[in-house]
Amino acid sequence: MVAPETEPGCVQLYHYLSYGWLCGGIIEHASGKKLQDILDEAIVRPLNIEGELYIGIPPGVESRLATLTIDTDGLILLDPEHDIYKSSLYAVPMPSSYSFSMISSLIPLSNTLNVRRSIQPASNGHFSARALARYYATLVDGGVVPPCHPSAPLPPLESCLVPNELKDTKIYNNPKGKIHDALLGGGDYKNLILPNGLFGLGFLRFNATDGSVIGVGHPGLGGSTGYCDINNRFAIAVTVNKLSLGALTGKIIKFVCLELNLPVPQLYDMLSSVN
C-alpha cells in the first residue's frame, strides 16, 4: 500500500490519468460491458456523432487522425517549476508524479498506434470539435440531445442528419437541475467536493472574470477544450494538434463569447493574454 500524499478530504488534486482508469473500471464492472460499448450506446449513437468520438480507436480510421506535435516554447509554461505556471489559473494542484519531462515524453508516445488503440479513459480521446461541442450542449440541457444546425454544412466525417428515432432523445434520467448539481458539485453532491474547489464531479468549474461560477468544462493538455455556460445554454469546443499552453484556444473562446455577449470564462481570458 502507498500512503496518500495529502490528508484525505483536505486537498483536491487533478489526477490526470488515474481518475479515468477508476471511472472506466467502475463503469465496466457495474455494467458487465466494455467501456467502448457503453460509450457507443450512451453517447455516440444518441448524439449522432458516429466516427467522431473514440476512446481507443477501432481499425480503419488511422488515416483520419491528426499527428500530435509540440510547441516547445508554449508547452514549457506547463512546467510546474516555471514562474508563469505557478502564478496562473492553469496551475491546478497536481500529484507529485506530474513533471514537465513526463508530459513531454507522453506526447510522442501518444502518436503510436498501440497507444491510440488502447482504452485510456483519461488521456486517449479522439474527438472532432463538433462531437465534443454536441456532448457539452447535451450537458447544458440536462441530457437532451441538441438538433444539428439546419444551416450548417454536413461535417466531413459523418452525416449530420438525425434519424427520426433519435429526435428528442434524452440520454440521462435525472432532471436537469440534478445533473447540473453533479457537474458543479452542488446540491446533493456538495459533500463530494471541497468547498469552492476547482472541480465538480469530473469537470473543471469555470468562473467568470467577476468570480461567479458560470459553467463547466475541461481544458485538455495542449490547448484542446470543451466548455459550456450553464445559465446561457452555450457550448463550444476547440481541438488542436499542435500542443501549447492554450493561448490560441483562449483567444477563440474569448472572441466568440464577446461576440455573443456572454461572460468570458476567467481561465480563457487569462490564456488569451499569453504570448
- pLDDT tens per residue, range 30-63: 999 999 999 999 999 999 999 999 999 999 999 9
The dotted CATH code for 18-272 is 3.40.710
Average pLDDT, the chain: 85
Query: Residue 242 is which amino acid?
Result: K
For the chain, the domains span 18-272
pLDDT given at position 142: 93
pTM: 0.87
Residue, of 130 and 71, whose pLDDT is higher: 130
